[in-house]
Amino acid sequence: MPRLISKPIPSSEITPREVYLNRRALLAAAAGGSALAMMGKAAFASGLRRPLEALPNTAPKISDTPTDHDLATSYNNFYEFGTSKSDPARNAGTLTTKPWTIEIVGEVTKPRTIDVDQLIDMGLEERIYRFRCVEAWSMVIPWIGLEFNKIAALVEPTSRAKYVKFVTVNRPSEMPGLRSDMLDWPYTEGLRIDEAMHPLTLLTVGMYGQTLANQNGAPVRMIVPWKYGFKSGKSIVRIEFVEKQPVTAWVAANSREYGFYSNVNPEVDHPRWTQKRERLLPDFFASRDTEKFNGYGEQVASLYSGMDLKVNY
């Protein structure tokens, strides 16, 4: 039975204290300096593998400049490696990512297991997406991957497949955050099937022209750019097509604060802070208006026609 969080996660873990304490070093990194010494150079480097080929960008472009690579790979959430924003870069070097397979099962006619290297040969493309965190900060990242609908085509979902569930690897010996009981592990996320099949939904194996660093979800993760970042599961080992809406990790832990849909929506505040404004990093201190659906409303708003997004948050 899922455990409920009896008290809020400390604010220092949600709006991280190191943003204030290390602001000069982080801003220097974003300006082109190196944050590797501070964040853990060995762990950072160990997550990088062979460069990927230059690829066409076929996604809708956004006006913001891509976030500096060093910042995007040293400041992020991956609770399996710790709750501080710097913990993933410091600790994720312990994760073994080769060999790696993804089991695809459930309401499909052709269940199969895919080696992650097969994905690299399936027509990858680069897409520059804005990535928005529920903690009211965002980045702009050039991701490399393929539309999830191409994976679905391989297994042929049946008419009973209404949702897709994503399961993250569960290795306590390699992922120190799994020793905590803040969530029911392994980490799980889910999408309605039409969300998963949307052309913007990306199964991702790289960023910035390289394969994913461990701290960013190596070797394969989801990117759903109109939703808050925790919806984009990392280090995926299992994909299940299911008939009923899955109970995801954050919904099980605290459904009042983290709804199943979790669309970026300035009209629905988090219970402990507003979502009307966001900080586009590396500017940690200035904020701007949050765009509904993270700026992708023209492409995805029709998915929610007739729905009350304040109820289905």
CA 156, 200, 228, 298 torsion-angle sign: negative
pTM of the predicted structure, to 2 decimals? 0.82
The amino acid sitting at 307 is M
Residue 202 carries which side chain, given as an amino acid letter?
Answer: L
Helix (H) or strand (E) holding 146: strand 137-147
Peptide bond into 56 cis (omega under 30): no
Q: What are φ and ψ of residue 221, in 5° steps?
A: -145, 170
Domain layout of the chain by residue ranges: 51-67+96-304
Name which residue leads in pLDDT, 69 or 45.
69
How sure is the predictor about 46, in pLDDT bands with cuts at 50, 70 and 90? Answer: very low
166, 222 contact by CB (below 8 A)? yes
51-67+96-304 folds as Sulfite Oxidase; Chain A, domain 2 (3.90.420)
Least confident of 18-27, 183-192, 212-221: 18-27
Residue 253: Cβ within 10 Å count: 17
pLDDT above 60: residue 19: no
Q: For residue 219, give both structure tokens.
A: 């070797």
CA distances from 284 to 23, 61, 70, 234 (A): 8, 23, 15, 25
- The arithmetic mean of pLDDT across residues 131-157, rounded, is 96
pLDDT of residue 37: 29
